[in-house]
Amino acid sequence: GRNDAVFIPAEDGGYVLLGLRCPQPGLFEGVDWGSERVMAQTRQRLLALGLRWCELPALWDVDRPADLTRLATLPGFGANKADSPDRAHR
């Protein structure tokens, strides 16, 4: 079957990505934005609206300064790789 929405939940209880087949303004009513309950409340809204959805595996997102520290540990972040000789355009 076709889904009305797709989500990537966030580890902190929110979500990283939301895709909708068509606008659903009512989906966002009554959600405690910025809390660990966002995804759970969104699931409740989806059910109440009779919508079908799928969820991909959870990821982490960048919401707070500590998340930037985690981001900086990923390969490719940090020093500007474009300045390194092996990445120069010739």
Residue 5 φ then ψ, to 5°: -150, 155
Kindly report whether the global pTM for this prediction surpasses the value 0.75: no
pLDDT tens digits for range 31-76? 999 899 999 999 999 999 999 999 999 998 888 888 888 888 888 8
How many other CB atoms are there within 10 angstroms of residue 51's CB atom? 16
List, in order, residues 6 or more apart from 87 with CB less than 8 Å away. 81
The one-letter amino acid code at 29 reads: E
Q: CB of 27 within 8 A of CB of 42?
A: yes
Domain ranges of the chain: 5-87
Beta partners for 8?
17
